[in-house]
Amino acid sequence: MIEKDFVTFLSPGTFFNEETTKEIDSWDVDKAIKMSKNITERYDATPYAFYFTTRGRNDFDLDSKRIAESQMYYLGGEVKTLKQIELECNPENDILLQNMRGNGWKKVIINSGNWKGTHPLRDDDVVLEY
C-alpha cells in the first residue's frame, strides 16, 4: 500500500470553510503552523485551524482512501463553555446558545484572526498558542 500524509487548512468562507490541502512529510504540528502562514484564501482569509490525514491506496485502487485523521488544531482563539456564554446574557448569543444546546456542544472556540468565527470544540481538539 502507498501512503501519504496531508495537512488541510481551514479558513473562513462565505457559506462554508475555504480548504487548502497540502502534502506534508509527517503529522508535524510545528511544520503545519509554519505552512499556515503562507495560506491566503478569498477575501484575504487566513487559516484558523488545520488537521492531518493519511491517505493510502493499493495498486488496483483508482483513488486513495482516507485511512487516518487527526483531531483539529486551532490556531489560537478563546474557548468558552455553554455556562460562560449563558452568564454573559448577551442577546447576540441567542442563536449560538440554541446551536450549542441543540447539538450538545459543551464548548466553542472563538477565533478573532482576520475574520471572527465560532466553532464547536470537541474534547480531543487542540488549541495552540498562536
pLDDT, tens digit (0-9, with 9 covering 90-100), for 69-89: 999 999 999 999 999 999 999
> What predicted TM-score, i.e. pTM, was given to this entire model?
0.90
Report, as an integer, the average pLDDT of 96-111. 96
Q: Which pLDDT band, with edges at 50, 70 and 90, does 107 fall under?
A: very high
Q: 60: number of CA atoms within 13 Å, CB side?
A: 0
pLDDT at 108: 98
Report, as an integer, the average pLDDT of 112-116. 80
pLDDT at 61: 83
Let me know: does 124 contact 69? Beta carbons within 8 Å. no
Q: Tell me the C-alpha distance between 15 and 100, whole Å.
A: 19
Q: Tell me the C-alpha distance between 20 and 22, whole Å.
A: 7
- Closest by CA to 49, choosing from 16, 9, 7, is 9
Q: What is the pLDDT of residues 46-69, one digit of tens each?
A: 999 999 999 999 888 888 899 999
Pairing of strands 107-112, 116-120: antiparallel
Let me know: does 4 contact 55? Beta carbons within 8 Å. yes
